[in-house]
């Protein structure tokens, strides 16, 4: 190996390890990788920053904005309104929800489609007396499956389509992914609705009943023992209300960052801070006469939780929320003290820090207190996903049809090569803005900027892999190791490797790394690059084994009451089915 190859392999290895570790945001890691290849001279300055103007990056951003316009028009809500009243049967319920999200994920951002249907899924589960755990994982998996069907369904498809243009001069078209992606979506949907949901541990169904949506993880709340509290001098084990299974004590703190171990004989003192786990409203009823106060609420007394215009809102932190990586004090500053954190729930985590010192993660469930009139603006400004039951918002039929017509028109402009697809989508965005589907201040609200930065940062890393000859080196090694094996076995190896990477790192980063390697292997085997690129596109979209592989999986973890190890139970057989189905289809549709 040359010095340049050693450098790029070292940078790439460190990047993948950091992605998998999850300690830092993936966009920061991507920028660090981009800086490293520039610093060591593996790319020129122009090449290092060209990724941010790459067609794939522009297309991803445009698709996210168009998804917002379709959402604003009420397209998904109209379809859901006609179908969701027929959910009395469990299988029909799961089929309708998963089918709707699968279809719309082919034409809009799959996380956006999931976000629209998540409150609907929870509300219909409650109406039918079912656990949200029964419907939310199928919903998340359906959103991932649907994205495989078109070029714009998911960022990996956009990346692969444009990478082909870089290599051959012609990109994959909008529906080149459809023959394989649609077949996988249909077969995957059948598996999920008939068999897959039954593989979710039944314990989740029993624990996570709709009337006790977050009991499985409970909220972390902290209260302070005030002067003249009747609890002063009382030992922890003698506090009757703490003997209830509904409320648990995590620890006691006196200004400490971490809660002290709870000695059952410890007698409470004035100004002690109790770290409690349970439903804050249950605590309100049990401790209303104990002279305790919330440490994060704007109305600190227990009886002030919903006093006057104050209201409580349950919501999930999305990946694009500015709260990710921040703490309670940031939230208070950001909202000018208009919003207070009453509770925090994170599935599978035992908290020991003071609530105010916790760092928020994607998928955390928050119980927030604010004035009723401020709730909508708060959720929008902080990119939080509300979990309250909501009526399905029906857009005017004419407005929905206009939004769909504009979208179809932009696809036709791209398909007929009148405009590049990115240009056609930008034209659609301009029309949406002029017609009021996209208010000026909200045009860029749903753009997932960390993904955009990730793409812009990792594209030069991929180019460095090619320019240093590293991709040819990897390709040669794989070809030598598989010498004598049928080409479809090599294709399967590429697919499975990409699936594995996508389960532990971001799917867009996976596509950027595996695309040049797959092309190098195809060239050395003397076959078409198209089936190998398709294998990467499918594999990069198959993040079904863990909650961290895809944002959709992360978002349903809290409200579904799932544990980390629940996902592979349905995800592993689904990935096996996808592998068995996709390889023959790839070879048939895209001959070697």
Asked whether residue 364 is domain-assigned, the answer is yes
Q: Residue-wise pLDDT tens for the chain (592 aa)?
A: 889 999 998 998 998 888 877 778 888 998 999 999 999 999 999 999 998 988 888 988 888 888 888 878 877 777 767 766 777 788 999 999 999 999 989 988 787 788 778 877 887 887 788 888 899 999 999 999 999 999 988 889 999 999 999 889 888 988 899 999 999 999 999 999 999 999 988 887 766 554 444 443 355 677 788 888 888 888 877 776 665 556 666 667 765 544 444 567 778 888 888 777 666 656 666 666 677 776 654 434 333 444 556 677 888 888 778 898 888 888 878 888 778 777 777 764 545 455 666 788 888 888 787 877 778 778 878 888 887 644 444 445 678 889 889 988 998 898 788 888 889 999 999 999 999 888 877 788 778 788 889 889 988 998 898 889 888 888 888 888 888 889 899 999 999 999 988 888 778 888 888 999 999 999 989 999 999 999 999 999 898 988 877 888 888 887 787 887 889 999 999 999 999 999 999 999 998 8
Asked whether residue 138 is domain-assigned, the answer is yes
Tally the C-alpha atoms within 13 A of residue 471's C-alpha that lie toward its C-beta.
Answer: 20
pLDDT at 55: 85
Query: Is 283 in the same domain as 380?
Result: yes
Asked whether residue 382 is domain-assigned, the answer is yes
- Domain limit, last residue, from 386, 409, 431: 386
CB atoms within 10 A of CB 195: 13
Report how far residue 326's alpha carbon sits from residue 546's, in angstroms, rounded to the nearest whole number. Answer: 24
Q: How far is CA 317 from the centre of its chain?
A: 10
Q: Which positions ≥6 away from 535 have C-beta within 8 Å?
A: 491, 494, 495, 498, 518, 582, 583, 586
Q: How far is CA 75 from the centre of its chain?
A: 21
Question: Quick one: tokens of 214?
Answer: 């977050």
What is the residue range of 335's domain? 214-386
- Answer whether 134's CB lies under 8 Å from 145's CB: no
Asked whether residue 574 is domain-assigned, the answer is no
Asked whether residue 582 is domain-assigned, the answer is no
Residues in the chain: 592
Does this model's pTM top 0.85? no
Report how far residue 128's alpha carbon sits from residue 49's, in angstroms, rounded to the nearest whole number. Answer: 53
- Answer whether 142's CB lies under 8 Å from 94's CB: no
Query: Is 103 in the same domain as 204?
Result: yes
- Domain limit, last residue, from 320, 354, 386: 386
- Answer whether 146's CB lies under 8 Å from 100's CB: no
Query: Is 182 in the same domain as 219?
Result: no
Residue 527, judged by CB atoms within 10 A of its CB (0-12, 13-18, 19+), counts as: middle
Report how far residue 283's alpha carbon sits from residue 244's, in angstroms, rounded to the nearest whole number. Answer: 11
DSSP tag of 345: E
Report how far residue 361's alpha carbon sits from residue 324's, in angstroms, rounded to the nearest whole number. Answer: 5
Asked whether residue 225 is domain-assigned, the answer is yes
- Answer whether 9's CB lies under 8 Å from 496's CB: no
Query: Is 178 in the same domain as 205?
Result: yes
Query: Is 284 in the same domain as 374?
Result: yes
Tally the C-alpha atoms within 13 A of residue 134's C-alpha that lie toward its C-beta.
Answer: 24
Query: Is 199 in the same domain as 122?
Result: yes
- For the chain, first and last CA: distance in Å? 30
Question: Quick one: tokens of 330?
Answer: 């940031």
pLDDT at 140: 93
Count of structural domains within the chain: 2
- Answer whether 2's CB lies under 8 Å from 469's CB: yes
- The CATH number of whichever domain residue 314 belongs to comes to 3.30.70.1450
Nearest to 138 by CA among 155, 125, 152: 125
Residue 438, judged by CB atoms within 10 A of its CB (0-12, 13-18, 19+), counts as: buried
Query: Is 116 in the same domain as 231?
Result: no
Query: Is 252 in the same domain as 362?
Result: yes
Asked whether residue 576 is domain-assigned, the answer is no
Residue 95, judged by CB atoms within 10 A of its CB (0-12, 13-18, 19+), counts as: buried
Question: Quick one: tokens of 358?
Answer: 């916790």
Query: Is 297 in the same domain as 375?
Result: yes
């Amino acid at each position: 190996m040359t010095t340049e190859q050693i450098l790029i392999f070292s940078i790439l290895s460190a990047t993948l390890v950091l992605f998998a570790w999850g300690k830092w945001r993936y966009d920061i890691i991507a920028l660090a990788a981009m800086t490293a290849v520039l610093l060591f001279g593996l790319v020129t300055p122009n090449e290092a920053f060209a990724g941010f103007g790459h067609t794939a990056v522009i297309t991803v951003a445009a698709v996210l904005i168009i998804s917002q316009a379709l959402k604003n028009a009420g397209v998904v809500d109209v379809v859901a309104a006609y179908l969701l009243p027929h959910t009395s049967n469990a299988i029909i319920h799961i089929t309708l929800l998963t089918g709707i999200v699968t279809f719309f994920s082919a034409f809009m951002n799959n996380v956006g489609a999931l976000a629209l249907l998540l409150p609907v899924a929870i509300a219909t589960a409650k109406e039918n007396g079912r656990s949200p755990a029964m419907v939310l994982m199928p919903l998340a998996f359906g959103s991932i499956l649907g994205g495989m069907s078109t070029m714009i369904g998911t960022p990996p498809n956009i990346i692969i389509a444009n990478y082909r243009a870089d290599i051959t001069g012609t990109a994959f078209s909008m529906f080149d992914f459809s023959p394989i992606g649609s077949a996988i979506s249909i077969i995957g949907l059948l598996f999920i609705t008939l068999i897959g949901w039954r593989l979710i541990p039944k314990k989740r169904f029993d624990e996570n009943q709709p009337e006790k949506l977050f009991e499985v993880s409970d909220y972390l709340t902290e209260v302070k023992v005030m002067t003249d509290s009747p609890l002063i001098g009382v030992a922890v084990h003698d506090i009757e209300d703490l003997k209830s299974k509904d409320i648990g004590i995590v620890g006691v703190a006196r200004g400490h960052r971490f809660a002290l171990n709870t000695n059952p004989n410890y007698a409470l003192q004035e100004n002690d801070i109790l770290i409690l786990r349970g439903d804050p409203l249950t605590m309100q009823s049990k401790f209303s006469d104990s002279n305790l106060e919330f440490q994060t609420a704007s109305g600190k007394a227990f009886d002030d939780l919903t006093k006057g215009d104050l209201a409580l809102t349950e919501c999930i932190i999305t990946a694009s929320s500015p709260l990710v990586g921040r703490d309670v004090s940031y939230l208070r500053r950001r909202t000018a003290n208009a919003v207070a954190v009453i509770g925090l729930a994170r599935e599978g985590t035992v908290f020991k820090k003071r609530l105010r010192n916790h760092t928020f993660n994607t998928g955390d469930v928050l119980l927030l207190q604010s004035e009723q009139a401020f709730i909508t603006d708060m959720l929008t400004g902080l990119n939080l996903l509300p979990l309250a039951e909501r009526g399905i918002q029906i857009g005017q039929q004419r407005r929905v049809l206009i939004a769909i017509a504009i979208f179809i028109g932009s696809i036709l402009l791209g398909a007929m090569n009148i405009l590049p697809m990115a240009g056609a989508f930008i034209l659609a965005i301009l029309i949406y803005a002029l017609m009021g589907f996209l208010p000026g201040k909200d045009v860029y609200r749903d753009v997932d900027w960390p993904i955009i930065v990730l793409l812009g940062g990792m594209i030069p890393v991929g180019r460095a892999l090619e320019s240093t000859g590293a991709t040819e080196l990897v390709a040669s090694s794989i070809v030598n190791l598989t010498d004598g094996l049928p080409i479809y076995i090599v294709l399967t190896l590429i697919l499975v490797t990409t699936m594995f990477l996508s389960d532990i790192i971001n799917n867009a980063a996976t596509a950027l790394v595996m695309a040049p390697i797959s092309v190098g292997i195809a060239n050395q085997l003397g076959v078409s690059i198209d089936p190998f690129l398709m294998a990467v596109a499918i594999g990069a979209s198959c993040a079904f084994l863990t909650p961290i592989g895809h944002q959709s999986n992360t978002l349903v973890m809290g409200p579904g009451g799932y544990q980390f190890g629940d996902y592979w139970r349905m995800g592993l057989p689904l990935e096996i089915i996808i592998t068995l189905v996709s390889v023959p289809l790839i070879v048939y549709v895209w001959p070697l």
